[in-house]
Amino acid sequence: MNRPHIRILATGGTIAGSAGSALKRGYRPGQIGIAEMVAQAQALGLEAELDGHEVAAVGSQDIGWREWQALHRHIADAYADDGVDGVIVTHGTDTAEETAWLLDLTRPAGKPVVLVGAMRPADAVGSDGMRNFANAVRVAGDPDASGRGVLVVMGDAVFAASDVRKSATAQIDAFRGFPRGPLGLVNPASLDWFGPPARPGDPARFAWPEALPRVEIVYAHADMDAAPVHAALAAGSRGLVLAGLGHGNAPASVIAALAEAGVPVVRSSRVDEGSVDRNVELDDDGLGFVAARALNPQKARILLQLLIAEGVDEIAAMQAAFDRR
């Protein structure tokens, strides 16, 4: 049996981080080059051929359009190369769900694309990086990973990009899935899927845009006024996402400002888990809002950016995009 050929695209993050001490809490992300990481992984005896490419060496708080463009280009090249069976993106955990979701929306559900990171730097006691990396290799090299869209592997679990979120600041098992939990469980020796691929042969939902329009997230809180809405519009935001209270609500003055904003508005929730449904807490039909459904604010922002970039401006069409799973 031929060993799968996996292309590794490195962007930095904690998985490539170094603290300079096994006991030190602070660290610097992106200090270990992809060649060293691949050599360490190959020394484990993984049943895969790995080739590494350095895309960036930053913490994921600094990941943005430039890095996303480079990742999209490299993944497109890997899809076009018959000798590549899957792709792994090493990534910081803070914005991994946003990168995964953007790639998921703009890539066909073909060869596996797996994002992986770590909660502890490589030289820390109990570092999880190499185990997560070995797990990602097993997933990316598995034929049954195809047709599932972009995946995130963390903490011995496999998540869909549409579901995954970071739910803790420092714990090893910091990632969760909503509304679905993990798609499967993985360790360096085995991989168990909980069901068949849901999207075999699906094309990309969106073309890769020339640029992403500015969309701001307005975070709701008690005793809030409409100033953040006006500031976002003054900064040139072409859409707004409300990280709302509870079921996507906000003080009356904020709701009024959003209704008069003149740009698409998506209601999501600052609550960690739950769905924001249409016309439940507010009259979305009357106000002209879109309900984010199961997407959290940061993922709602990515989807709204792509909709605006494609020229979608009808609320019904936007809502249909948010309703789709």
Q: What is the 3-state secondary structure (H, E, C) of the chain?
A: CCCCEEEEEEEECHHHCECCCCCCCCCECCCCCHHHHHHHHHHCCCCCEEEEEEEEEECHHHCCHHHHHHHHHHHHHHHHCCCCCEEEEECCCCCHHHHHHHHHHHCCCCCCEEEECCCCCCCCCCCCHHHHHHHHHHHHCCHHHCCCCCEEEECCEEEECCCEEECCCCCCCCEEECCCCCCEEEECCEEEECCCCCCCCCCCCCCCCCCCCCEEEEECCCCCCCHHHHHHHHCCCCEEEEEEECCCECCHHHHHHHHCCCCCEEEEECCCCCCECCCCCCCHHHHCEEECECCCHHHHHHHHHHHHHCCCCCHHHHHHHHHCC
Please state the φ and ψ torsions of residue 100, each to the nearest 5 degrees. -60, -45
Write out the catalytic residue numbers. 14
Band (pLDDT 50/70/90 cuts) for residue 24 is low
Which pLDDT tens digit goes with each residue over 201-211? 999 999 999 99
Q: What percent of the chain has pLDDT over 70?
A: 97
| C-alpha–C-alpha distance, residues 162 and 322, integer Å | 11
Q: Give 313's contacts (C-beta < 8 A, 6+ positions apart).
A: 264
Domains of the chain from N-terminus onward: 5-193 (3.40.50.1170), 215-323 (3.40.50.40)
What is this structure's pTM?
Answer: 0.95
- pLDDT per position as a tens digit, 87-115: 999 999 999 999 999 999 999 999 999 99
Question: For the segment 237-291, what is each residue's pLDDT rounded down to a tens digit?
Answer: 999 999 999 999 999 999 999 999 999 999 999 999 999 999 999 999 999 999 9
Give the whole-angstrom CA distance, residue 74 versus residue 88. 11
Residue 186 CB neighbours (<10 A): 26
If you average pLDDT over every residue of the chain, what do you get?
A: 94
Contact yes or no for 154/317 (Cβ under 8 A) = no
Torsions phi, psi for 39 (to 5 deg): -60, -40
**For the CA atoms of 165, 64, 136, 108, what is the dihedral angle to 10 degrees?**
90
